[in-house]
Every structure is written in C-alpha cells, then in structure tokens.
C-alpha cells in the first residue's frame, strides 16, 4: 500500500471518528480538533507501528486528545468525571452520522467558502495546511476561516434534517477549483461525493457524481504537457478515461430513472452526450441544445444560456448561435470568447481575431487568457497569409 | 472566494480629498496611520480574508537583459516616476462588493490631523486557476 492510499484510507475514517466523539457528548468544534490531532498522530505513527483496527485506534486516540484538551480549559473535578465515564471504543457509527456531518459542514448559515473549508477538514480529513495550500492563502487565514465556521454552527444540532442542495453546491465548488498544489481537489471532491452517495439515496447526488466523473474522465486530454488548454473539439478522445465514463453514464442512468430531474443530472446528461461521441463531428448537438433548454428551466444561471448559444451554433449554424448570443447580456463572463468562436465559424476571421484578443484581456484565469491569445495569434497568422485557416 | 490585490500608491493615484504630504504630519499622526493599517490587516486575519501584504521601498530601478554574456543593464533609480507603489495587500473574499468594502475601510486610515485621508486605492482581481467545468 502506498503512502498516498494509506492517507486516503485514513482520511475516509474521519467522519466516522468525529461522529463517535460527538455522539459521546463532545461539542463539534472540540471533537473536530481532536479528530484532526488523532489523524496527524496516525500519519506519524502508523508507518512503523500500524494498529490492527484502524478505526478503533483513531477513536481511542481522538477521545484522549479531546479529554486532554478539555482538561486544559475546564475544572479539575469535571475532568475527573469525564475520565471516569470514558466509554469503550466500538462500532457505534452509521452512515446517518456521516450524512449529518455533511449537512452540518455545509450548513446554509455558512458562506460557500466556509462550507468548503469545513467540509474538507471535518469530512475530508485534510489538514488546515493542506487546505490553505490548495486555496493559496496563509495557513493562519485558513485556520481562522475554519474556526469561525465552527463557531457559526456551534448551536446547530447534529440530528436536524439537512439541506442536500447546499452539500452538493459545496462539493461542486471543491471539484471545480480544479488542481493546485499537493491536494487533488477534484479527486477529493469525487471521493467525498461517492461517500455521500452511499449515505443517501438522492438523484441529484448521483447527478453530481456522474457530472464529476464525466468531466474528470477528460482531464488527461484537457491540457498540453506544458499546461495549455485544449478545447473539447480538439481533444484526443483516445485519452479520455473510459472506465470513468462508463461509471459516470451508469450513475447518470440510475439518477434519471428516478424521474426527478435536477440541475446536476441535466449537466451530466450534456457531459454524457459529449463522452458518447467518438469524434467531435459526431456530437449530437441537437440533443445537447434540448438539455440546455431543460437546464435553463431548472436554474437562472446565465452561464447556461451562454453555453446554449454555443450549442445552438453547432446544431443550427453559427448565425443561429450568434442570434441566441445576441439575446444575452454582453457583460457575462466569457461572452466575448463565445462571440469570437461563433464569428470564426461564420468565416469572419478578422472580427473573430479582434474578439479573441478582447476576450483574452477579460479572461478570469491565466490558462484561458493563454488559450484565447493563441487563438487570436492563429487567426492573425491566417489574415497575414502565414498559414491556411 | 476571489482574491484581489489592493495597491497603495505613493504617486499615480488620483488626489485624495484629505491628502497632505507626509513630511507635514506629526509623529503621532504617522504612528496612528500605521496602527490603523495593522489593525485592518489583523481584523482580516481573524475573518479569514487576509491572504498577504507587504510594504515596498519607494526607490526602484529598471533592469533588463543586454545580450548573452553581458551584465544586466540598469536604469535609474528615478526619483520622479509617475506611478509609485507604496505597498500591497491581497484579500480573499466572497464577493467583489466585500472587496470594495474592505478597501474603503483601509482608505479611511487617518492622516494629517487624525482625519481619514480618503486615499484612492487600486483594486485588481487576481487571475485564478481555470475551473474544471465551464459548460
């Protein structure tokens, strides 16, 4: 077993250990700190002294950590009482406890960023340092964000029904942050969504998991070795991960069979149609437009209508795409990039080249800026007669 | 969350309503100004919105490559460049409005006679990683 899988397996026990401490009466914030300390100790100790029962070891150590911490700030008498009533570790958690932790860490009173941080730590078992590195902020800042989040939910009871939608939004945000630093947030989001999927039967959980798997399947083909973005139409589809695609499609079918359509299922359906096409030219754009219409009925996110305009451009021709685009707000992120693409498809190379450059200046990230600048350079080369279109 | 760079200019920003050359400030006024900015940063550390910051020496030099095997060429230092950055902070916040709110708080740092300078700060979004899902 490699060290990486070891750590992943260890972290998978996090919510169960935390839930045991909470069920024994520890308040959430203290239980979370104690669980985190136990995980760190495990990472340190297990390589040379592995326990027979991982979970029992973690529970015992975490409980002691909790008691030690409690000792530091409560009266001696009360501490001794706690020691007297120390229970024996055992299999006392169920998937329900894990589910309650997801609900708590993505509680609607938390801001999305706080929910993300708390979920990664309390459910994902990541250290504050790892989370800070992934989100490119100082560790102290992330520590404060997490402890504020814990204070915000300190009066929330674990046994109240939660909001699946905020949990899904939180996991979606983690996935979409992509990859930076040592922690692969996309893979972590998939792990946490799979774990959630075993704890609750809900078509949108399946929908989100399918969406993640289908997008993750394309990751090896999404960038050149030096990190440049490759648009979907130019990706080498042989490099898509067919195992993930198959799992994604099965997961989506399971969700759709329940006949309770939601935003994530519709997005996953679009991703599945792309995954299904052996070449870009084989893409069933008419069906994709229909799914975008469904999606537009489920969410008022304007990005959906922007993407729909691209799909219309492919299904009915660039003029139709430009007409659909013309109905949208020009200040939408990526509006200009879409306009550039549709104008190029319509043969207006000069306009497209200018728009690509304009879009590059507005790009929200370096990879897109690089991609759009290269597109502009490619078309300017065509205009100068350096290369054929 | 999105990160924003706040730039404080010695020169190059529009003139602040209560601008007065620093050499006309008293020592207490100067200390109060610095303390205000430190407090601002400390507060943001507690809210989990602080992502870094540094002050810069006012004097800088231009430098460029001058060809293989040759030492870099420098030009300056220039005392009178149009734009001069005094320092920067990076904040990591939920919304653009929150970024504006925090910048405005920093801009209220006291100057001469202990009154807020209403200094103009420049705010620039940092570019991010590309999202996994765009469509």
Contact A114 B48 (CB under 8 A): yes
Confidence band (pLDDT; 50, 70, 90) for B82? confident
- Residue B132: which of A135, A137, A215 has the nearest Cβ? A215
- A-to-B residue pairs, Cβ atoms closer than 8 angstroms: 80
- Residue B94: which of A111, A117, A136 has the nearest Cβ? A111
> Contact at 8 Å (CB) between A241 and A216?
yes
* pLDDT score, position A296: 95
ipTM above 0.90, yes or no: no
Q: How far is it, in rounded angstroms, from Cα A239 to Cα A256?
A: 27
Three-state SS at B72: coil
Residues of chain A with Cβ-Cβ distance to B92 below 8 Å are 113, 135, 137, 141
pLDDT at A285 over 90: yes
Quickly list H helices, chain B: 27-47, 96-107
Residue to test with chain A: of B2, B102, B130, most A Cβ within 10 A: B130
Q: How far is it, in rounded angstroms, from Cα A127 to Cα A54?
A: 19
* pLDDT score, position A1: 45
Contact A176 B133 (CB under 8 A): yes
Contact A112 B94 (CB under 8 A): yes
Segment A143-163 shows an average pLDDT of 84
- B48 dihedral zone (left: phi>0; alpha: psi -120 to 50; beta): left
Please give the structure tokens belonging to residue A321.
Answer: 């795409």
Q: How far is it, in rounded angstroms, from Cα A163 to Cα B47?
A: 25
Contact A310 B134 (CB under 8 A): no
Segment A266-272 shows an average pLDDT of 98
Three-state SS at B6: strand
pLDDT at A81 over 70: no
Burial class for A288, CB neighbours closer than 10 Å (0-12, 13-18, 19+): buried
For chain B, how far is it from start to end, CA to CA, in angstroms?
20
Mean pLDDT of chain A: 90
* pLDDT score, position A91: 47
Q: How far is it, in rounded angstroms, from Cα A210 to Cα A264?
A: 8
Percent above pLDDT 70 for chain B = 96
Please give the structure tokens belonging to residue A53.
Answer: 């029962």
Domains and CATH numbers, chain B: 2-125 (3.30.70.1060)
Condensed to tens digits (0 to 9), the pLDDT of residues A249-264 reads: 999 999 999 999 999 9
Q: How far is B22 from chain A (nearest CA, A)?
A: 32
Q: How far is B48 from chain A (nearest CA, A)?
A: 4
Q: How far is A334 from chain B (nearest CA, A)?
A: 10
Q: How far is it, in rounded angstroms, from Cα A70 to Cα A360?
A: 54
Kindly report whether the peptide bond that precedes residue B77 is cis, defined as omega within 30 degrees of 0: yes
What is residue A386's DSSP assignment? S
Please give the structure tokens belonging to residue A144.
Answer: 């404060």
Q: How far is it, in rounded angstroms, from Cα B43 to Cα B134?
A: 35
Three-state SS at A49: coil
Q: How far is B42 from chain A (nearest CA, A)?
A: 10
HEC-encoded secondary structure of A275-299: HHCCCHHHCCHHHHHHHHHHHHHHC
Q: How far is B134 from chain A (nearest CA, A)?
A: 8
> Contact at 8 Å (CB) between B106 and B41?
no
Contact B132 A367 (CB under 8 A): no
Contact B47 A148 (CB under 8 A): yes
pLDDT at A338 over 80: yes
Q: How far is B130 from chain A (nearest CA, A)?
A: 6
- B40 Cβ under 8 Å from any chain A Cβ: no
Q: How far is it, in rounded angstroms, from Cα A40 to Cα A137?
A: 21
Q: Which of A35-49, A217-231, A261-275, B69-83 is the most confident on average?
A: A261-275
- B49 Cβ under 8 Å from any chain A Cβ: yes
Q: How many C-beta neighbours within 10 Å does residue A191 have? A: 17
Which sign, positive or negative, has the C-alpha torsion A248, A251, A256, A260? negative
Contact B48 A148 (CB under 8 A): yes
* pLDDT score, position B80: 64
pLDDT at A110 over 60: yes
Q: How far is it, in rounded angstroms, from Cα B4 to Cα A343?
A: 33
Contact A179 B3 (CB under 8 A): no
Residues of chain B with Cβ-Cβ distance to A138 below 8 Å are 50-52
């Amino acid at each position: 077993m490699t060290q990486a899988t070891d750590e992943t397996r260890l972290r998978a026990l996090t919510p169960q250990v935390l839930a045991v401490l909470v069920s024994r009466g520890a308040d959430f914030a203290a239980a979370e700190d104690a669980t985190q300390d136990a995980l760190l100790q495990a990472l340190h100790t297990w390589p040379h002294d592995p326990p027979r029962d991982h979970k029992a070891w973690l529970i015992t150590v975490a409980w002691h950590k909790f008691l030690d911490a409690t000792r530091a700030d409560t009266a001696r008498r009360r501490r001794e009482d706690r020691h007297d009533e120390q229970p024996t570790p055992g299999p006392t958690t169920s998937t329900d406890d894990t589910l309650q932790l997801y609900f708590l860490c993505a509680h609607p009173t938390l801001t999305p960023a706080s929910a993300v941080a708390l979920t990664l730590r309390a459910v994902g078992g990541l250290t504050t340092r790892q989370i800070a590195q992934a989100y490119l902020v100082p560790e102290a800042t992330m520590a404060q964000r997490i402890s504020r989040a814990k204070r915000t939910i300190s009066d929330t009871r674990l046994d109240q029904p939660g909001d699946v939608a905020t949990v899904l939004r939180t996991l979606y945000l983690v996935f979409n942050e992509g990859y930076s630093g040592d922690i692969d947030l996309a893979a972590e989001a998939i792990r946490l969504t799979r774990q959630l999927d075993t704890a609750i039967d809900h078509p949108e959980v399946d929908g989100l998991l399918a969406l993640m798997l289908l997008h993750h399947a394309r990751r090896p083909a999404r960038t050149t070795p030096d990190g440049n973005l490759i648009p979907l139409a130019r990706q080498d589809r042989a490099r898509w991960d067919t195992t993930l695609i198959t799992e994604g499609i099965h997961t989506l079918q399971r969700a759709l069979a329940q006949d309770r359509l939601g935003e994530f299922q519709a997005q996953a359906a679009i991703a599945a149609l792309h995954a299904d096409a052996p070449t870009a030219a084989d893409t069933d754009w008419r069906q994709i437009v229909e799914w975008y219409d469904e999606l537009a009925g489920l969410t008022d996110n304007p990005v959906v209508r922007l993407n729909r305009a691209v799909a219309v451009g492919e299904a009915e021709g660039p003029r139709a795409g430009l007409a659909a685009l013309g109905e949208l707000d020009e200040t939408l992120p990526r509006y200009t990039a879409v306009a550039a693409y549709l104008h190029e498809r319509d043969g207006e190379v000069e306009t497209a080249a200018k728009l690509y450059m304009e879009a590059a200046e507005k790009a929200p990230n370096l990879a897109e800026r690089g991609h759009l600048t290269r597109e502009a350079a490619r078309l300017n080369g065509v205009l100068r007669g350096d290369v054929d279109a | 969350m999105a990160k924003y760079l706040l730039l404080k200019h010695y020169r190059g920003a529009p003139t602040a309503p209560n601008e007065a050359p620093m050499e006309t400030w008293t020592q207490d006024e100067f200390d109060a100004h610095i303390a205000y900015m430190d407090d601002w940063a400390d507060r943001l550390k507690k809210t989990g919105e602080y992502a870094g910051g540094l002050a810069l020496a006012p004097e800088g030099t231009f430098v460029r490559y001058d060809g293989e095997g040759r030492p870099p060429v420098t030009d300056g230092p220039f005392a009178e460049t149009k734009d001069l950055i005094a320092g920067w902070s990076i904040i990591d916040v939920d919304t653009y409005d929150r970024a504006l709110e925090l910048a405005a708080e920093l801009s209220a740092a006291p100057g001469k006679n202990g009154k807020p300078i209403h200094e103009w700060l420049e705010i620039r979004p940092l570019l991010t990683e590309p999202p996994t899902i765009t469509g």
